[in-house]
Amino acid sequence: MTTTEAWLGINPAKCLKDSDTPHNIDVHEMTLGKWVKNERDARESSRPTDAPLSESERAELIRLRQENKNVKAENAQLQMQVSFAKKWRPGSRTTSSEVRCDRGLG
């Protein structure tokens, strides 16, 4: 039994299924929702990091790794395009030695 369950005498997961629970324990719905979220977060963080992944978690991990790889490649491509555009933009000067004089002196 967790702290929330012991203090309230209820199961937080069951509370979300029962819409009358906030009224039964004389608590605002938002407050109860925050308690349930905190309890879920606490349970998730208490899960051992070396616990084996379920089939769906493994599939999601593979999908997210591929998506991350694609986003990094796209980001690198965009950075190269921006760098190229800055370098070859008319009138761009990156150093003082590139300053041009377009007017004649006469």
Domain range summary for the chain, segments of one domain joined by +: 1-51, 53-90
Please give the torsion angle defined by the CA atoms of residues 43, 50, 54 and 66, in that order, rounded to the nearest 10 degrees.
110
30 has a pLDDT exceeding 70: yes
Q: What percent of the chain has pLDDT over 70?
A: 62
Q: How would residue 18 be classed by pLDDT, with cut points 50, 70 and 90?
A: low
pLDDT at residue 46 in the model: 75
Determine the number of helices (DSSP H) and then strands (DSSP E) in the chain.
Answer: 5, 0
The whole model's pTM is what?
0.40
Token code pair at residue 14: 């069951």
Token code pair at residue 95: 């150093």
Lowest mean pLDDT among 51-55, 56-60, 99-103: 99-103
